[in-house]
Amino acid sequence: MFDLPFHPITVHFAIAVGFAVPVFGFGLWYAIKKNWVEDKGWRVVVGMAFLYTLLAIVTVQLGEVDEEKVEKIVAEDVIEHHEEAGEAIPWIAGILFVGALAGCRGKKARKFQLIFSIVATLALIPLGNAGHTGGELVYEYGAANAHLSPERWAELKSGVKPAGEHGDHDHDHDDDD
């Protein structure tokens, strides 16, 4: 059975799409401006902004599901810091989606596309902050340990280094013989 938490899985997709949005925004703005791509090519950016919004919403919801487990081993104020940073992302992504739509039509479409791309780049700051606070939860405060089985948790506390599930591997072998 799949027993990994879903929040860390979806959050990486959301971050990747969030970073791709301004890259595609600038790229398509320039390509459309140079007539290398038709105006309707901007729909790719609209679709990416929509996907980013959906992923951000789902990721926040899944984070709330994981919160109860993590609160057992990490102080609530640390979790709240990440939660507040993360809860801003769906709103920012939604605003970007609306902004991307503004770049679809009209005499000022090119101008809106450029403004959108600049704003989408600035929107990486809160996204990076949310990712950073999430990384602190995992690597500094041990939030990932909340998802360990009781047996594995006991092994860690005892200092026993268990063998990997896939058996021991000899990494020092010499194939030159």
Tens digit of pLDDT for each residue in 42-69? 999 999 999 999 999 999 999 998 888 8
SS (H, E, C) the chain: CCCCCCHHHHHHHHHHHHHHHHHHHHHHHHHHHCCCCCHHHHHHHHHHHHHHHHHHHHHHHHHHHHHHHHCCCCCHHHHHHHHHHHHHHHHHHHHHHHHHHHCCCCCCHHHHHHHHHHHHHHCHHHHHHHHHHHHHHHHHCCHHHHHCCHHHHHHHHHCCCCCCCCCCCCCCCCCCC
> Which pTM value belongs to this model?
0.84
**Residue 173 above 70 pLDDT?**
no
**Residue 84 above 80 pLDDT?**
yes
Q: Where do the structural domains in the chain lie, given as residue ranges?
A: 7-158
Tens digit of pLDDT for each residue in 85-113? 999 999 999 999 999 999 988 889 999 99
